[in-house]
Amino acid sequence: MIDTPTILLVAPTFYDVSYSINPWMDPAGWARDPAGMHGRARASFDALRQALGDSGFAVEVAEGAPGQPDMVFPANAAVVLDGRAVLARFRYPQRRGEEAPFAAIFDDLRRRGLIDSVETLPEGCYQEGAGDCIWDAQRGHFWAGYGPRSSREAAQAMSCHFGQEVVALELATEQSYHLDVCFCPLAGGEILYYPPALSEAALATLRARVPASQRIEATADDLRHFSVNAVSREEHVVMTRTTPHLRHELGRRGYRLHEVDLSPYMMSGGGAYCMTLRLDRTSAPVRRAAAA
């Protein structure tokens, strides 16, 4: 297991938007200028990689596979904690072809010592990686989304695999098809979230566990900008080009924003968090960050 903050990215060599399995996906828009869009996607990827480096991350870049355009979203590939990776099982057939190439990527990471083990879930247990199972370092538990993609029983499966508490939150809209679209634990302990994306029971659970002073409510405009889909480390937050609302709110809490134009990936329903996977997360207690 590594102790350096490390992010996995997947190169956009085979990225395109050729099908639609969530409300954000725009294959018609991509098809109007595929060569131009691919060039923009490459430039966006390079800018994201730079922003992550500027935020103190070491960056590992894996190659995707032909015909698997959404491999650029490795947050959906696995959940990693304490050096253990549990591979995803995808609900939609369009993404199931990613499972074998991602298994090969994680086996290579294991051989190189970047993770310690690679495990799988039972057949039929849909769980779409860290996008639906987000580690909250300040509280020492996972938040797990379920409904559109991951199944309710996946939360218990992840708890058994990692020996950690998993707090299940039901997602209420197809727009927020993964929890990371609408929910982001920040390094200082705050939770940035979009309330309409969660069921009433999920909102009650969140409010019981997180005090009002640490809940940051995102707007519909924030959601459209994929600004909730962010990467947080210490005072750094890497996100898509955001709204004045979030720029002000996060700035006043002491966060330093690294904004990147990720519009080519937003056309597929993804932002900064979707495009990354932390490999170094640990369950060891952390000291509260200065931005709290």
Q: Is 184 tagged catalytic?
A: no
Residue 239 burial (CB count, 10 A): 28
Residue type at position 273:
Y
Exactly one of 141, 161, 178, 225 is catalytic; name it: 178
Whether the CB-CB separation of 8 and 48 falls below 8 Å is answered with no
Whether the CB-CB separation of 64 and 11 falls below 8 Å is answered with yes
| Residue count (the chain) | 292
DSSP string across 35-99 = HHHHHHHHHHHHHHHHHHHHTT-EEEEE---TT-GGGG-GGGTEEEETTEEEE-B-SSHHHHTTH
Whether the CB-CB separation of 152 and 125 falls below 8 Å is answered with no
Q: Is 178 tagged catalytic?
A: yes
Residues tagged active-site: 178, 274
